[in-house]
Amino acid sequence: MIAVALDTAGAPAVRDFIRPASIEMPALLKDIMGWDDAALARAGVPTYPCLIDQKHITGELYQFINVPMVVWIDENGRIVRPTEPAGVMDGVRSLDPTTFTMPKDVVEEGKRQRREYIEAIRDWVNKGDKSIYVLSRDEARRRSPRPDAQDALASANFRLGEFLFEIGKRDDALVYFAEARRLRPESWSYKRQTWELEQAGKAAGPEFFAEVMALGDKHYYEPVELRPRSSG
């Protein structure tokens, strides 16, 4: 695995986040993710490359419009499962932000989907292109994100904002961050990253939950079709 942190604040923010002593996860999150104290301790000393993507370069290349999202890439550098949510579901829609609790049936479904996704990854690791979870080229193309001109303009605005933020022009940067959000409202990566740069904690604050609750029929995480539609 290669983990990429889409963090404009850079390595200090990431390092501070994954320090074992700083990992005070809500009980609900630990329950859903299956994280016990041992797992959290291991998180602070990863055995795989953990990269820092301040400019959201991989976000643009692979269209990571939310996190966590994953791409499966085979030994030949071919995408066998394009960008999709990483074994997560829309449980956040059922979250009570004041108590940080969720209906039990939603919690259990979240656990089930996470377990199922991990098993799919294991199946691929063991079986390679024989895995039923490896998509045909046609299916992979069908599921691939298709950025359009507005998405490209949003990305350019984010990149310009990120550069200005890096050189200390915070207020000027915020203008471009706002434009990136306006151009690509479905990108939670742009929303939450730029909110956090505006004000620490804003990415998980009242504004975030208000926008999640206002999704209506839309998804926070698009459902994952774990198995291919056809055997072809």
State which of positions 111-170 bind other proteins (CB under 8 A).
Answer: 121, 124-125, 128, 137, 140-141, 144-149, 151-153, 155-157, 159-160, 163-164, 167, 169
From residue 175 to residue 204, what is the string marking binding to other proteins with x (rule CB under 8 A)? -x------------x--xx-xx------xx
Which residue number, 90 or 188, has a Cβ lying nearer to other proteins? 188
Choose which of 76, 99, 230, 231 interacts with other proteins (CB under 8 A): 76
Asked if residues 55 and 157 have their Cβ atoms less than 8 Å apart, the reply is no
Shortest separation between residue 172's beta carbon and other proteins, angstroms = 6
Measure CA 194 to chain center: 15
Shortest separation between residue 196's beta carbon and other proteins, angstroms = 4
Asked if residues 229 and 197 have their Cβ atoms less than 8 Å apart, the reply is no
Interface with other proteins, residue 23, by CB under 8 A? no
* Contact positions with other proteins (CB under 8 A) in 200-219: 203-204
Asked if residues 25 and 40 have their Cβ atoms less than 8 Å apart, the reply is yes
Interface with other proteins, residue 49, by CB under 8 A? yes
Tokens of residue 95, six digits: 């979250």
Cα 2 to Cα 225: distance, rounded to the nearest angstrom: 23
Please name every residue paired with 193 in a beta bridge, in sequence order, or none if there are none: none
Cα 180 to Cα 208: distance, rounded to the nearest angstrom: 16
